[in-house]
Amino acid sequence: MKEIATFGAGCFWGVEATFRKVKGVISTRVGYTGGHFENPTYEDVCSHKTGHAEAVEIIYDPSIISYEELLERFWKIHDPTTLNRQSWDVGTQYRSAIFYHNDEQKAEALASKEEMEKSGIYKKKIVTQIVPATKFYEAEEYHQQYNEKNKRKYLFI
């Protein structure tokens, strides 16, 4: 059985590279979602006029890794307290977002966010959006598995 998870946590290169290494993740692809512009290109998304976020779509085997475990990794790989920013990447396309695919994911994401807020790990308010998944537009081929294709790796917090 396969399930899908979609996360926005800054530049999708590093996010994808992190999730590709997780046991139970079958495949990943990077792209754009959460906006109102059809068939966006990277340049369109960078224009800040599409409403889309850079995101990673993850196909995973829930008998090996749970959605809750994916959420735990999501919180650890970025700063969910910075609005429309991760490290030096600034803009709405770099926002922190969980795009849920069903009511169960929504409930788990909301509970996970609440747990993180109560944990005291973050001194600032968590600004992560938890919103329904919308159409996912696959990014250009050169963005797919970027770190695996390039000698110079994209690193992030």
Question: What are the tens digits of pLDDT across the range 130-144?
Answer: 999 999 999 888 888
Whether 78 shows a pLDDT value over 90: the answer reads: yes
Q: Tell me the CB-side half-sphere exposure of residue 100, using CA atoms within 13 A.
A: 19
| Percent of the chain whose predicted confidence (pLDDT) is above 90 | 80
Residue 90 predicted with pLDDT over 70: yes
61: phi then psi, degrees, rounded to nearest 5: -100, 110
* Range 3-149 has CATH code 3.30.1060.10: yes
List, for residues 10-55, the tens digit of each pLDDT value.
999 899 999 999 999 999 999 999 999 999 999 999 999 999 999 9
The mean per-residue pLDDT over the stretch 62-79 comes to 97
How many angstroms separate the CA atoms of 62 and 65, rounded?
A: 5
**Positions marked catalytic:** 11
